[in-house]
Structure 1
Amino acid sequence: MNRRHVLGLGAAGALAPFAGQAQSPAWPTQPTRMVIPFAAGGPTDVVGRLIADRMSEFLPQRVVVENRTGSGVVIGTDVVAKAPKDGSTILYSTIAHAVLRALFPRLPFDPIADFAPVALCGQIPMIMLVHPSLGVSNAQELFALLRNNPGKYDYASSGNGGAVHLATELLWHEAGGLRVNHVPYRGSSAAMADVLSGRIPIIMDVAAGALPYLARGELRGIGISDMQRSPVAPNVPTFNEQGVRNFVAYTWHMILVPSGTPAPIIQAINAATNRVMSQDLVRSRLRDLTMNVVADSTPDSAKAFLDAEIAKWEPIIRSAGITANG
């Protein structure tokens, strides 16, 4: 069986929702554009490109990645919001989509009404790290130190309003309203440099980013923001184990299309995405990046997840006074 025949079978499977519909919309003739509103080479881009490349096997047209950055994720997201509603343009985004409305009161689009969720691809938990000089080794010791010294300590993040910033604020809230000063950086590398030096003693980072520092013993892992320990960091307990009940915080990856895209096209993209996420090679690579892979998402379940994330994070943003500018 040659590659052309394999691709033909893949496209036929993805387009199964079109069968039996006399006036089904035609698939666009140009390549499908996956807009990633993050910089090329970053963690979101790496995962998105892997998925895009594999999706090309299961859709009638090749999927090409286009990085459109600026104003956080606003510019790239706006490109998709104003794109034709025909499957030719899809958005590959993260938790950033769920907090757009809260962080940016004036947007050129509505992140809810102007988009249709297609598939949740996976969730990546975060690990809280501390410098050894802080003298704590678990969550309760950290909380006690911060509770007894309100406003004395700082924590770093990779950017204002980002996933790790929000997750940390949620943790302080769930731990009893701890007062810890936020110091945002432009990217995790700059933030981690000051944490490694001990200048800023606390940081939350995506699990994959935290692993090298744990392996080298440079920083201590206080807790992971998942309900189960990660197989790649089995010695880091969950916060739930340490008394912060049901504490879960992820950065996650999702595919969306412009609202009004025909349902058969949405179903075809969903089917292609799930087939990609079911592949052993993809699952293995993403698990190495500490992603909890989702391979059975539906448009309805993706929308329910997005709605729940919006409801979860908007109150945290308001209560912490977080804005797009700091």
Structure 2
Amino acid sequence: MISSNGAGAVSRPRGRLSRRSLLGAAAFGLAAPAILRSGPAFAAYPDRPLRIVVANSPGGPSDIIARIVAAAMQERMGGTVFVENKGGGGSNIGMGLVARAEPDGTTILLATSAYVVNPSLYDTLPYDPFKDFSPICELATSPNVFAVKPDLGVSTMKEFVALAKQNPAKFNVSTPPVGTTPQLEAEVLKVREGLSGMATIVFAGGGEALQALLGGTVQLSSGVLAPAHPYIKSGTIKGLAVTGERRWHDLPDIPTMAEAGFPDFVFETYTALLAPAGTSPEFVRKLETETLAILAKPETREKLMRTGFEVQARTGKQHMERVAREVPMFRDIITKAGIKVKS
């Protein structure tokens, strides 16, 4: 649980710096050169099954997009593609697992914004965001959404804040893991609006955080739009505001946070594919080409849009440009909000 001053009381893996941090992989987006090492000969997908590791629990936004991409990739390229969820540790467990995986073309990571946030939250990480991975491509982004149950009796973010201020200790907000953009935005909201007494309940994944709202455990949910989207459309929950730069195309009645009276409040969650550093550059380029082709299909774009994602379809190099830009950006946000993760 996050304490009232934004500090966390969650455990974190005491991993060492990745052993690949000394391998000299090219930083800022260039696929790392193949590295001679002991182990089986390189035999990449589709000759062998491809595992897409999602560093969050099933049912959340990253899991949804991983399964959409995995199915499309298998259909386009043949072979077998499967998704494996490795949640926990603020996504560090799954990211560290792929950072240490054999770079043999059988394991890749579906990363979220935690990839660029965690370097500022944790003193020790099991991965280096610039050295331990070869970027494949960026997939899509999704705005986040603040949502409540209709029976709470509020219709806007301003109304919720006013209600919560009457007795903050009676209110809870659920979020995905520490370091995700929904968790960060919840803490920023609390700091800005004087709601330090409202507890943040952190879950292993976005699906579980949303279930807490549906089950009445919390009064406010801060999460990625994708898993909340069908519940908002059905009226089961009420979206108070989205945190993107513009309103979502099929939820025109939900304002942005800026429109709701909260300026400079843009938080989005992105997703990207990365391979362990040392993976064959030819294999990385092939996956980049094939995945970008999948994302260019109107049916894929429509499917992702229906589940709350907006396709970005950026190259691996462009993704690493984002990494270089957002690592310091989130460091500044975390510092100003006074968010710390304590062991």
TM-score (norm 2): 0.72
Q: What SS is found at the alignment partner of 1:290? A: coil
**Residues of 1 paired with 2:132 and 2:43: CA distance?**
21
Give secondary structure in 2 for the equivalent of 1:79.
helix
Contact 1:130 1:203 in 2 (8 A): yes
CA distance in 1, matches of 2:69, 2:92: 22
Distance between the aligned counterparts of 2:330 and 2:311, measured in 1?
A: 22
What are the Cα deviations for residues 76-124 of structure 1, in whole angstroms up to 9, with x where unaligned?
A: 3233222344544321121232233334433333233212322110011
Q: Could you list the per-position Cα deviations for residues 271-319 of structure 1 after superposition, in whole angstroms to 9, with x for gaps in the alignment? A: 1111011112211211110101123x12221112223333333344453
- Partner residue of 2:301? 283
Measured at CA, do residues 233 and 264 of structure 1 come closer, stay the same or move farther in structure 2, by a change above 3 Å?
same
Partner of 1:55: 73
Report the counterpart of residue 166 of structure 1 in structure 2.
184
Q: Is the Cα–Cα contact under 8 Å of residues 317 and 323 in structure 1 kept in the other structure?
A: no
Extract unaligned runs of 5+ from structure 2: 1-41
Match of 2:156 in 1: 138
Residue 55 of structure 1 contacts residue 276 of structure 1 at CA under 8 Å; is this kept in 2? yes
Percentage of pairs with the same residue: 29
* Counterpart in the other structure of 1:110: 128
Q: Is the 8 A contact 2:147 2:222 kept in 1?
A: yes
The answer to whether the 8 A contact 1:67-1:76 is kept is: no
Q: How many residues align?
A: 298
Q: Does 1:156 align with 2:157?
A: no
Counterpart of 1:211 in structure 2 is 229
* SS at structure 2 position matched to 1:30: coil
1:302 is aligned to 2:319: yes
Q: Is the 8 A contact 1:133 1:198 kept in 2?
A: no
Aligned with residue 111 of structure 2, among 82, 93, 115: 93
TM-score (normalised: structure 1): 0.76
Deviation digits for residues 120-167 of structure 1 (CA, Å, limit 9, x no counterpart): 100111211134455432233334455676666432224444442123
RMSD: 3.3
Matched, 1:235 2:253: yes
Matches within 5 A, 1:305-320: 305-318=322-335, 319-320=337-338
> For the residues of structure 1 that align with 2:67 and 2:210, how far apart are their CA atoms?
26
Please give the alpha-carbon distance, in whole angstroms, between the structure 2 residues aligned to 1:254 and 1:290.
16
Q: Choose which of 269, 275, 287 in structure 2 pairs with 1:251.
A: 269
Q: CA separation in 1, counterparts of 2:143 and 2:123?
A: 28
Q: Quick check: 270-279 or 148-157, which moved more?
A: 148-157
Give me the whole-angstrom Cα distance separating, in 2, the residues matched to 1:188 and 1:80: 21
Query: Partner amino acid for 1:139?
Result: M
User: Does 2:289 align with 1:271?
Assistant: yes
Deviates more, 1:273-282 or 1:63-72: 63-72
Runs of 5+ in structure 1 lacking a partner?
1-25
Whole-Å separation in 1 of the counterparts to 2:86 and 2:214: 29
Which deviates further from its counterpart, 141-150 or 79-88? Answer: 141-150
Where does residue 54 of structure 2 map in the other structure?
36
Contact 1:80 1:257 in 2 (8 A): yes
Whichever of the two has the greater Rg, that structure is 1
1:119 aligns with 2:127: no
Please list the CA deviations of residues 157-212 of structure 1 after superposition, one character each: whole Å capped at 9, or x if unmatched: 24444442123223445x55653331334555665555456563222232233334
Q: Is the 8 A contact 2:87 2:94 kept in 1?
A: yes
141-150 or 218-227, which deviates more: 141-150
Would you say the 8 A contact 1:118–1:255 is kept in 2? yes
The verdict on how the C-alpha distance between 1:177 and 1:98 changes in structure 2, with shifts beyond 3 A counting, is farther
* Native 8 Å contact 2:246 2:256 kept in 1: yes
